[in-house]
Chains A and B, each alone.
Chain A
Amino acid sequence: MSWQNTQWIKVKVLPWQEIEGRTIVLYPEKRMAHEMNQVGSFIWNKLLNKVTFDHMRDMILENFQVDTQTVEKDLCAMLDKLAHEELIEWQ
């Protein structure tokens, strides 16, 4: 999946809860519970509304000490996982 070419990405409407900087997402239909660390929680929060890949990458760069190449690689990996678990929508 080439996330850089998508127009927007957003998370599905699912029950979630942030606790001590981490996020728990429940997917009742699939009987799944997901846990995200601090960076994952940051991404989840930003994806509550439609966001472009570039905007998402820039927000991470603004908030975490990490280089552009690493962010793009990790962000793609994270989006791949979220897509695999059917937690996000995109166009």
Chain B
Amino acid sequence: MQFETHSSVPAKTFSDEKNYQQKRAICQELSALYLASQSEFYQSFSRSFKLNYHGLAIELHSRNLDLSDWQAMLHGQLQSDNANLAEQLPIKFFWIHPQDFAFKSNDFEEMTSPECHIQVQNNCEWAIQRDFCAINFNHGDIVLVTDPENPDGIYNVLRWVLPRLLIKHKMAVLHSSCVIGKSGRAHFFLGPSGAGKTTSAKLAGSRLVLGDDMNLFLQQDQTYWAASALLGGIIQNKREERFPVAGFFWLKQASENSIKKLPAASALKYFCASCANLFWGYGGQDMASSLLTWGMPIVEQVPFYEMKFTKDGGFWDVLAKHAMD
């Protein structure tokens, strides 16, 4: 009797308990402030800008942060009008500097604890990670504390919130690298941390790399497409066009290059495990059920391989032999 398990995220505890408790105290304070009077809370944020992320309307608000740099950066990166989800209420992010809570930047970040810790409190989600803490009030308002000097902080907040909203519209943010082959089709390279996603992107040669960490897989008109997710990573391509999907490749570093078609069940397991941050927090069971249902036709229609690869880029020759480049 075979029984295999794959963890999408290794379970780790927050190693700096003091840092964790300080961030938790911030969440408690913010929750009380927000719930005491939402209108007063809103009024205390005087700066804002709007953007569109794959059809999701987003607003970023701040009290005293200069958002102009972020406006330019996120507008350039996240603005993407290739979906029309205009009926969506805007998702409002209220961004507060750690200094407002007498935090120095160096003390706020706790780089040894990479995992996001989620708690559900009174139907709200509290999220605490190495470089941010935040509350999602689950009706579109997210209050967050992160240092604007560290772009990873705001990206981690966006990675926490946006994938779950996109999945309802048949868009999955996949923890992956994505390379456009010579045929113009997209290759999603998947695997746990350390499997070789960034390495496979670096071995792309002259091929276009969409991203080496987070990429968007979407369904439209019964066709599957790849697009830049633009949610951080070393390589982020800002091109807005979409590319038809050639296949998924579950990475295993080896001494030889080879690909092997995976059975549909394994493909479904790896597809679900690659959906970034989808199960974090509230509503995870419903989200998981929806994902399984959506994933069934995907793994039947899109080729899914296990790819053993060496670090010399020779796997592209193997893919070319299978007409997959």
User: A71 CA to B151 CA in the complex, in Å?
Assistant: 55
Q: A31-B11, A33-B273 are in contact. Are A26 and B288 (CB under 8 A)?
A: yes
Interface residues in B, total, Cβ within 8 A: 32
Say whether B1 contacts A78, CB under 8 Å.
yes
Which residues in B have their C-beta under 8 angstroms from that of A30?
7, 11
**Does A55 lie at the interface of the complex (its beta carbon under 8 Å from any beta carbon of B)?**
no
**Does B269 lie at the interface of the complex (its beta carbon under 8 Å from any beta carbon of A)?**
yes
User: A36 CA to B287 CA in the complex, in Å?
Assistant: 21
Which residues in A have their C-beta under 8 angstroms from that of B288?
14-15, 26, 28
User: A32 CA to B7 CA in the complex, in Å?
Assistant: 4
Q: Which residues of A are at the interface with B, using a C-beta cutoff of 8 A?
A: 14-17, 19-24, 26, 28-37, 39-40, 43, 74-75, 77-78, 81-82, 85
User: A77 CA to B3 CA in the complex, in Å?
Assistant: 10
Say whether B285 contacts A24, CB under 8 Å.
no
User: A82 CA to B1 CA in the complex, in Å?
Assistant: 12
**Does B296 lie at the interface of the complex (its beta carbon under 8 Å from any beta carbon of A)?**
yes
Say whether B11 contacts A35, CB under 8 Å.
no
Say whether A26 contacts B265, CB under 8 Å.
no
**Does B4 lie at the interface of the complex (its beta carbon under 8 Å from any beta carbon of A)?**
yes
A-B contact pairs, 15 of them (CB 8 A): A15-B289, A19-B299, A20-B264, A22-B265, A24-B265, A24-B272, A26-B272, A29-B279, A31-B9, A31-B279, A34-B269, A35-B265, A40-B2, A82-B3, A85-B5
**Does B319 lie at the interface of the complex (its beta carbon under 8 Å from any beta carbon of A)?**
no
Say whether A24 contacts B1, CB under 8 Å.
no
Pick from B7, B263, B272, B296: contact of A22, CB under 8 Å: B263
User: A20 CA to B300 CA in the complex, in Å?
Assistant: 10
